[in-house]
Amino acid sequence: MASMFDPQDPQYDARVRETFAAQRIMLTFGARLVRVAPGETDIELPYREDLGQQDGFLHAGVITTVVDSACGSAALSLMPAGARVLSIEFKVNLLSPAKGKLFVARGRVVKPGKNITVCTGDFVTQDGTKLLAIMVATMMCVR
């Protein structure tokens, strides 16, 4: 499916992947950026016990971390060359316990803007059948 958005920076893919690679927490978690398109990214996260809360499911904050990175990466893909992205704020609703072996965080731009970009994100089981969490995030473009 084609993206709704035109990237300003033809090198957007490389730039998003580079920024992702510089996020040490993604390495710490074992998260992988598996898809980049204009205004859209997917990050995979395999389950690990050491990312869990008290019942062994993924901690809500771990989910948030990965979905926030997906949203930030999606926003960054539409920003001009040289710009950086910062999360101003986000809200997350946890819908179901994150049980499973492999998860996907999907970030999507809803409204790009010169200064402010609004994204939605979600966190699903790898086959996409179960919606575990949703996010709305406000991102800022820093030049």
Which residues contribute to the site for a copy of itself (CB under 8 A)? 19-20, 22-25, 27-28, 49-56, 59-62, 64-66, 68-69, 84, 86-96, 110-111, 115-116, 118, 120, 131, 134, 136, 138, 140
Closest separation in Å from C-beta 21 to a copy of itself? 9
Q: Which is nearer to a copy of itself, 25 or 102 (CB)?
A: 25
Task: Please report how close the Cβ of residue 115 comes to a copy of itself at its closest, in angstroms.
Answer: 6
Task: Name 12's Cβ contacts closer than 8 Å, sequence gap at least 6.
Answer: 36, 38, 76, 77, 78
DSSP class of residue 11 equals: T
CA–CA distance, 46 with 132 (Å, rounded to integer): 15
Nearest alpha carbon to residue 88 among 26, 16, 137, 133: 137
Least distance in Å: CB of 79 to a copy of itself?
A: 13
